[in-house]
């Protein structure tokens, strides 16, 4: 049954106010050839149990069905989520759209965010982290704007090995501004070519991703030492933070700002969302950080409490003074991430990272033994690029019919990488599935 909150009298009053005789008049500005002339062909209504059966049938035709063997990465990763993370994050105390604008009545939410900030700073090797942002792409864009605020320069450089979607969001942020973006090419080993950095003037910041979009680890110390000016900031982004359980963190590699996607920390891929924008920096830049920051203090009686601090958002201060007017925190996703990290602990996090590394290395070796060539020589984490022979597009489609998703074709993002595919293996990838894919490709 349709719910129409407006009575005929309400509708008549509103139409009179806008000087239109009928509801049809609201659409008079739409050309006739753009209007639908026939009724929508909508199926008949189903009962609840019929609808459930229909949805189950549809689900089994999609790539998320259990019988599909998926080797996709590219910024969204399949990991096992501890039952504790799913259960605790779903408690009614946390599942709310409420935003803690009144900290004194939001102590539980603020403490959870404070714990998230603490573990994020430890994971990324940084001194301070904010309460999270929309996703990895917006976190990178905000980081580059922050680099410009700190350096007071108008140009930033971004590696082409940074996730293509992240670079598109960054370009969208910068398009209406006076700031410039320079793209750095990648080398034959899959890492960023930093040779041009020394000749760049007015460079406010450099953004690289590690592991980058090809899965390769960047030499962050070398990039930091190549910056032409001490005021230039090194921004390290990521789409797989689990890598820092095995490799050196951005902060311990010279990064001034570390940011990226935290989806793999207790949050399923779920058709591309929701995400978790992780953001951390050196303490000396804290007043230029975007978003919320939760601090710990004591009240007049000496009791511990949590507050929003340095709240330079548009809701708290004059809009023109805000560090960002279009960022918020994903509290529920941040909660899932902190429960995930706390559940694993430092040792468990390292063990899980090692398991992911070993799975991908086994997959690499199996493909190489089958005669295929790796596109890049640099060490990787979780995912890697393979060069397949001409005509592999047909094989790829045939594999789809057999319920194999054999990685991500890179040609749409990098035209020069035709027949190159990004493949991924996590702890959820069975050895038998990897062997089966290699066997199918060889056939």
Residue-level pLDDT at 14: 93
The tens digit of pLDDT for each residue in 122-157 reads 999 999 999 999 999 999 999 999 999 999 999 999
Cβ atoms 409, 396 nearer than 8 A: yes
Domain final residue, candidates 341, 357, 388: 341
Residue-level pLDDT at 318: 60
Residue-level pLDDT at 1: 47
**Is there a single domain that holds both residue 419 and residue 324?**
no
- Residues β-bridged to residue 238: 260
**Is there a single domain that holds both residue 336 and residue 379?**
no
**Is there a single domain that holds both residue 349 and residue 276?**
no
**Is 427 a domain residue?**
yes
**Is there a single domain that holds both residue 321 and residue 390?**
no
- CATH of residue 350's domain is 3.90.1150.10
**Is 396 a domain residue?**
yes
**Is there a single domain that holds both residue 313 and residue 370?**
no
Does residue 328 surpass a pLDDT of 70? no
Cβ atoms 308, 100 nearer than 8 A: yes
**Distance between the two ends of the chain, CA-based, in angstroms?**
55
**Is there a single domain that holds both residue 285 and residue 156?**
yes
The CA-based dihedral angle spanning residues 355, 336, 258, 284, taken in that order and rounded to the nearest 10 degrees: -130
**Is there a single domain that holds both residue 304 and residue 263?**
yes
**Is 87 a domain residue?**
yes
Backbone φ, ψ for residue 316 (5° rounding):
-105, -30
**Is there a single domain that holds both residue 240 and residue 387?**
no
**Is there a single domain that holds both residue 175 and residue 310?**
yes
Enclosing domain of residue 314? 83-341
Q: Which secondary structure element, helix H or strand E, spans residue 287, and what is its range?
A: none
**Is 363 a domain residue?**
yes
**Is 244 a domain residue?**
yes
Domain final residue, candidates 299, 325, 341: 341
Q: Pairing state of beta strands 277-281 and 257-261?
A: antiparallel
The tens digit of pLDDT for each residue in 54-88 reads 998 888 777 666 788 999 999 999 999 999 998 99
Supply the DSSP symbol for 289.
Answer: -
**Is there a single domain that holds both residue 423 and residue 280?**
no
**Is there a single domain that holds both residue 236 and residue 323?**
yes
Cβ atoms 215, 239 nearer than 8 A: no
pLDDT average, residue stretch 267-292: 90
Given pLDDT bands bounded at 50, 70 and 90, which one contains residue 109?
A: confident
> What residue spans of 175-211 are helical by DSSP H?
none
**Is 30 a domain residue?**
no
Closest CA to 142 of 95, 194, 205: 205
DSSP string, 86-129: HHHHTSTTT------SSGGG-HHHHHHHHHHHHHHHHHHT-SEE
Q: Pairing state of beta strands 155-159 and 128-129?
A: unpaired
pLDDT average, residue stretch 398-423: 96
Q: Pairing state of beta strands 233-238 and 203-209?
A: parallel
Query: What's the total number of domains in the chain?
Result: 2
The tens digit of pLDDT for each residue in 368-390 reads 999 999 999 999 999 999 999 99
Please give the share of the chain, as a percent, with pLDDT higher than 90: 70
CA separation for the pair 144, 138 (Å, rounded): 10
* Residue 258 to residues 103, 210, 236, 331, Cα–Cα distance (Å): 27, 10, 5, 19
Please give the share of the chain, as a percent, with pLDDT higher than 70: 93
The tens digit of pLDDT for each residue in 19-62 reads 999 988 988 889 988 988 888 888 889 999 999 999 988 887 77
Domain final residue, candidates 341, 368, 385: 341
**Is there a single domain that holds both residue 138 and residue 159?**
yes
**Is 41 a domain residue?**
no
- Averaged pLDDT of the chain: 91
- CATH of residue 211's domain is 3.40.640.10
**Is 63 a domain residue?**
no
């Amino acid at each position: 049954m349709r719910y129409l909150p407006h009575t005929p009298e309400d509708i008549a009053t509103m139409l009179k106010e806008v000087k239109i005789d009928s509801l049809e008049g609201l659409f008079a500005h739409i050309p006739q050839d753009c209007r639908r002339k026939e009724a929508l062909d909508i199926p008949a209504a189903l009962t609840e149990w019929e609808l459930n059966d229909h949805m189950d049938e549809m689900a089994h035709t999609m790539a998320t069905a259990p019988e599909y063997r998926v080797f996709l990465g590219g910024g969204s990763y399949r990991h096992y989520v501890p039952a504790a993370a799913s259960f605790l994050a779903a408690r009614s105390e946390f599942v709310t759209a409420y935003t803690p604008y009144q900290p004194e009545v939001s102590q539980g939410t603020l403490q959870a965010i404070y714990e998230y900030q603490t573990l994020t700073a430890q994971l990324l090797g940084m001194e301070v982290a904010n309460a999270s942002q929309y996703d990895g792409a917006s976190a990178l864009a905000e980081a580059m704007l922050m680099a410009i605020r700190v350096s007071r320069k108008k140009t930033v450089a971004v590696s082409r090995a940074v996730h293509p979607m992240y670079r598109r969001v960054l370009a969208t942020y910068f398009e209406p501004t006076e700031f410039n973006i320079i793209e750095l090419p990648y080398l034959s080993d899959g890492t960023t070519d930093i040779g041009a950095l020394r000749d760049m003037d007015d460079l406010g910041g450099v953004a690289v991703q590690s592991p980058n979009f090809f899965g390769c680890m960047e030499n962050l110390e070398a990039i930091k030492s190549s910056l032409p000016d001490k005021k230039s900031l090194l921004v390290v982004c990521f789409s797989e933070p689990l890598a820092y359980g095995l490799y050196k963190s951005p902060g311990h590699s010279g990064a001034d700002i570390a940011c990226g996607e935290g989806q793999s920390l207790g949050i399923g891929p779920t058709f591309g969302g929701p995400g978790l924008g992780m953001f951390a920096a050196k303490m000396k830049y804290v007043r230029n950080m975007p978003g919320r920051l939760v601090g710990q203090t004591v009240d007049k009686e000496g009791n511990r409490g949590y507050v929003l601090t340095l709240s330079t958002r548009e809701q708290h201060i004059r809009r023109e003074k805000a560090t960002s007017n279009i960022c918020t925190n994903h509290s529920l996703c941040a909660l899932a991430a902190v429960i995930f990290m706390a559940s694993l602990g430092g040792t468990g996090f390292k063990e899980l990272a090692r398991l992911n590394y070993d799975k991908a290395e086994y997959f690499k070796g199996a493909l190489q033994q089958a005669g295929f060539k790796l596109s890049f020589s640099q060490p990787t984490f979780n995912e890697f690029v393979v060069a397949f022979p001409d005509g592999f597009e047909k094989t790829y489609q045939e594999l789809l019919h057999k319920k194999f998703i054999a990685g991500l074709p890179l040609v749409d993002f990098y035209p020069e990488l035709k027949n190159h595919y990004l493949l991924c293996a996590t702890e959820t990838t069975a050895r038998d599935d990897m062997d089966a894919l290699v066997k199918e490709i060889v056939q």
